[in-house]
A and B are shown apart, each in its own frame.
Chain A
Amino acid sequence: MMRTLKFVFRTGIFTYRALFTWINPPDFVVVKLGVPFFLVLTFVLISDYGAALTGQDAQSYINFVVVGNALYVSTFNTLMGPMFFVFNERREGTLELLFSTPVNRPLLNIAKSAIHIGDGIFGIFIVLLYGVTLFGLRMSVLGSLYMIVIAFLSVISMMGFGLLFSGLALYYRQPHPIVSMMLSATMFFCGVTFPVGMLPQSLQYISKAIPLTHGIEAARLAVIEEFSPIPMLLARELIVGALLFCLGSFVLGYFEHLAKKSGKLVFF
């Protein structure tokens, strides 16, 4: 057990360092603080403008989009992380070596995700901090404690979702457009800026199949201190996340097979 934990920790640190080896603290601040700030500010200003036109108080809408975006920024880690660790191994020419080792592949995926989970949670709290300090968001102590649990479980569950698409990075030359499209689709389907109930019924099924939808709903309930439905939402989120993780590992294996068969593992 200890050996496995050590492996997970070591691989996680190693992956993260490899990904951000040449990033220095000022750049990290720009990426981690600047990007989420302007993202959430965009939607806060839209809410503000919309509410001003209709003569309403914008605060409830601002709270809505801040909480949604807080959870959403973790997808930068949960979607991009799994996809880029496949892509980067390929680009650096280490993918063949990795695939020829007898290492437990799902465990390796978990290990590589470990630091992204920590970073994703950090991102969520950065946006919530913006919300509290700049956009008038109010949270009780109990609500904040719930938020820690929600953030942790949402990021873990979304790693399964990210893994599902990481196999595509094995098969396609450029994962960037796929990631970009997935990020936009996640924002649309998960109710980041509007209630999922506004979507047509058929699209709501897709929303329910993405773990983040349940996490965002739980986080909004934590802010307005309606705690009773939260455990059920988190349970749903975890179940969907676990199913996606299993499916993701299978899909990754399938694309690995496909890439080997067509000789596209390393060459495009």
Chain B
Amino acid sequence: MNPYWISLRRGFISQLQHERADILWGIHAFVEPVFVAFVVIMLYRFVGTSSQDYATYVVFGSGFIGVWAMVLSFGGKSIFQERMQGTLELMFLTPVSLFTFSFGKILSSAATGLVSVAAVLAVGKFVLRLPIHIESPGLFLVSLVMTIVTLSVFGLVLASAYMLTRRVAYFMNLMQYMIYVLGGLLFPISVLPFWVRPISYSLSLTWALDAVRVSVSQNAWESSVFWMDAAMVTFLTAVYFVVAVVLYRYIRKIAVRDGKLSVY
């Protein structure tokens, strides 16, 4: 079997086991996005907006806030945690690819985060009776997978950056909220000032979430917007991947050169 596939699979399973050991994280993944959804829905209702206008933004925005939080909480710190636990040196010594192992862990966190999307979707549709009907179920699933993969690759960039400096931890706190705005999670990015939009367009999450919303609200097979979104997600994910590989190689090089693999 391909060694990259083995380390990816082991990373995925090890992260699942880690999350299962702490049931609170599971509850967190379920509860927090639902609260966020309620807060945003109540604000939209307070302003008097029709549920048709905000339903897909709130449901999928809040849901993916949960996925994003999981990627940041577990994925972003995955290599750093190996260092904290004293297992990073061992990982470096084994012939297993730490890069694909970490990718497996982040992918696992993001996939677990889908619980958030399911929870908000269920509450939105059945409790709050929001007008959500998935028009293109097949492409909806494709867009969910696409979002998970692109967020995981982005998490891989963060994981490598986190190894460079622990200051990244503070920026992660900032990024958690920054993405809400720049990614247009809870409102369309047309609300943002013109000069901010290029930043939004450089985030694959913006396109991926748009693809999710298009697949829910219309026949995505015939929508050029959906295919444009999918193409942009693919392109940006490839860019993130290259950045992650370059960063990881650089970190590996300086860690060995400076002998600071386990030193913080």
Question: Using a CB–CB distance below 8 Å, which chain A residues touch chain B?
Answer: 22-23, 27, 30-31, 34-35, 38-39, 41-43, 45-54, 56, 61, 64-65, 172-174, 176-178, 180-181, 184-185, 187-188, 192-195, 198-199
CB atoms of B39 and A188 under 8 A apart: yes
Beta-carbon nearest neighbor of B34 in chain A:
A184
CB atoms of A193 and B49 under 8 A apart: no
Instruction: Report chain B residues within 8 Å CB of A34.
Output: 174, 178
CB atoms of A193 and B170 under 8 A apart: no
- Option from A30, A38, A47, A199 in Cβ contact (under 8 Å) with B43: A47
Given contacts A53-B53, A184-B36, 16 further A-B contacts (CB under 8 A): A22-B166, A27-B170, A31-B170, A38-B181, A41-B181, A43-B43, A49-B191, A52-B191, A53-B50, A54-B48, A54-B49, A56-B47, A174-B22, A176-B73, A181-B28, A184-B31
Main secondary structure of the interface of A (DSSP, over half): helix
Instruction: Report chain A residues within 8 Å CB of B188.
Output: 49
Known: A27-B170, A50-B48. A187 touches B39 (CB 8 A): yes
CB atoms of B43 and A194 under 8 A apart: yes
Question: Using a CB–CB distance below 8 Å, which chain B residues touch chain A?
Answer: 22, 24-25, 27-28, 31-32, 35-36, 38-40, 42-50, 53-54, 69, 73, 166-167, 170-171, 173-174, 177-178, 180-181, 186-188, 191-192
Instruction: Report chain B residues within 8 Å CB of A64.
Output: 46
Instruction: Report chain B residues within 8 Å CB of A185.
Output: 35
Beta-carbon nearest neighbor of A43 in chain B:
B43
- Option from A30, A51, A180, A187 in Cβ contact (under 8 Å) with B171: A30
- Option from A41, A46, A172 in Cβ contact (under 8 Å) with B44: A46
Beta-carbon nearest neighbor of A39 in chain B:
B177
Task: Give 25 pairs: A residue, B residue, CB < 8 Å, sorted on A.
Answer: A31-B173, A35-B174, A35-B177, A38-B178, A38-B180, A38-B181, A41-B181, A42-B180, A42-B186, A46-B44, A52-B191, A53-B49, A53-B53, A61-B47, A65-B43, A174-B22, A180-B28, A181-B28, A181-B31, A184-B31, A184-B35, A185-B35, A192-B39, A194-B46, A199-B42
